[in-house]
A = this chain, B = another copy of it.
Amino acid sequence: MSISVDTFFLAPDAQGTLQAQIQQMVAEGILSGRFRKGEKLPSSRSLARHLGISRITVTLAYTELLANDYLTSKGRSGYYVSDTAPIPPSFTPAPRGADGVDWGAALVRHFSGGDTPRKPTEWQSYRYPFIYGQTDPALFDHSNWRLCATRALGQKDFTALTTDYYDGDDPLLVEFIARHSLPRRGIVARPEEILITLGAQNALWLAAQLLLTRNRRAAIEDPCYYAQRDILVQTGCAISPVRVDGDGLPSDRLPDDTDVIFTTPSHQAPTTATMPLDRRRALLARARALNALIVEDDYEFEMAFLRAPSPALKSLDEDGRVIYVGSFSKSLFPGLRLGYMVGSEPFIREARALRASVLRHPPGHVQRTAAYFLSLGHYDAQIRRMAQVLQQRRKVMETAIAEHGLTVAGRGAFGGSAFWMQAAQDRDTDALARDLRAEGVLIEPGAPFFHAAHRPQNFYRLAYSSIPATRIPEGIARIARHL
């Protein structure tokens, strides 16, 4: 029997090359049982004509399928579904009744319903996306990333790609971070004091598991990054939100029974405040007096284009009290899921054991690609280009914001990628965000950043990391019109 040419069609929104699409159609036809063993495929000529594509494309796809044993070729008479084509078994599933499990009783812990808001995943379809933390295709050095990723797929890196590192990390990446990244933040660390994590969030989560329990107290900044607060809430510990001011976290407001302090000294999230040196020293002294630990989330220090960034809090830490968390999500891209933490050896040893239990290790290819991108200098070049563009966008933001009389609550002394904004006392920025969406404008309502007990509704965040400079004035104008 012959397989009719009519069963083939090119989906208009299909991804990948034409050759890949044809290959996929044939493989799926065989694997799903629609095409049977011994059946003859359309000739390359007729399939090419039917699809309106070049014959060589079809021939290449068939050749590939031949190599994979899906097809056999019988000389000039054409291609057939191979007798030995991989056709895995498919079983008839049991009829499914209603779920017989009382999930309310079966689930011992609940994690849904935290403060972390749902964000639009299709932000690119908005014309004025003042969205934070997504990658602007115009800013990311995609081509060099691709080169590094391709290199990391090579034969020489086969082990780095495929191996089960058990509880270990890619030694190349760890070495680069120790020798190059950390010295720039004033930090000296040995490999045993460094752990690669699945993004900064994973590092913050690991630290919370190891340091907090029901009878410990965590101090967090208020406002702060909501996912950070959700992580702490899940540990069941006591939480003291401490109001930040224009200089970040004031150490004299920390409760006397604080065990762990979570802070963002370089660039407070979300107010963008930078903690001055004397306050950093005071914070370290206070932590020492309280015998408390500090978890420093050093996100976005790279985006310093107005002034050089200050060194990390960890660089002032003389007694191993600070656990440092770094991230590549903002400087590279969040889908990478790569970050790292630095701390004393006994801490990193336990964090490593916990990470091994939870997920073993971040994928090898991701680690090796980042190691190449960093060591070839692409990373620093990219940071530099990003900073230049962000600086230019920021100027446009400043001008438009001033022109329309909007109020900036925090702007970041070194740079950054967002403004922390304040509307009139009685404005609900959640409703504002909804209204603006209809006009193609994305802003981030500020309420989820605040501790639930007192949650002002009139703050919002405007990021300029994903919106082109040319669209900023009109975007700001639309926001102003609604306020």
Whether A337 contacts B359 by the Cβ 8 Å rule is yes
Docked-complex contact B180 and A108, CB < 8 angstroms: no
Kindly report which residue of chain B lies nearest to residue A97, judged by CB atoms.
Answer: B318
**Is A258 interfacial (CB 8 A cutoff)?**
no
> Chain B residues with Cβ under 8 A from A103's Cβ?
344, 346-347
The yes or no answer to A140 lying at the interface (CB within 8 A) is: yes
Q: Which residues of B contact A145 (CB under 8 A)?
A: 153
Residues 184-209 of A at the B interface (beta carbon under 8 Å): 184-188, 198-199, 201-202, 205, 209
Assess the B216–A357 pair: CB atoms within 8 A: no
Which of A22-30, A247-255, A422-430, A431-439 is the interface stretch? A22-30
Segment among A3-11, A374-382, A475-483 that sits at the interface with chain B:
A374-382
Q: Is the CB of B180 within 8 A of A32?
A: yes
Closest Cβ neighbor of A144 among chain B residues: B68
Q: List the B residue with the shortest CB-CB distance to A260.
A: B106
B30 lies within 8 A of A357 (CB): no
What is the minimal beta-carbon distance from A174 to any residue of chain B, in angstroms? 14
Residue A470, interface by CB 8 Å:
no
- Minimum distance in angstroms from A189 CB to a CB of chain B: 9
Q: Is A270 an interface residue (CB 8 A)?
A: no
Q: Pick the contact of A376 from B24, B88, B98, B354 — CB < 8 Å? A: B24
A103 to chain B, nearest CB (A): 4
Contact between B356 and A116 (Cβ–Cβ < 8 Å)? yes
Question: Of B109, B137, B162, B234, which contacts A135 at CB under 8 A?
Answer: B162
* Interface membership of chain A positions 63-99, coded 1 if the CB is closer than 8 angstroms to chain B and 0 otherwise: 0010011100000000000001010111111111111
10 new A-B contacts at CB < 8 Å, known A91-B183, A164-B335 = A15-B156, A31-B377, A70-B381, A91-B311, A94-B186, A96-B188, A111-B354, A121-B163, A140-B162, A227-B357
Can you list 11 A-B contacts (CB < 8 A)? A15-B156, A68-B144, A91-B311, A95-B318, A101-B321, A110-B353, A133-B164, A163-B334, A198-B198, A205-B357, A335-B365
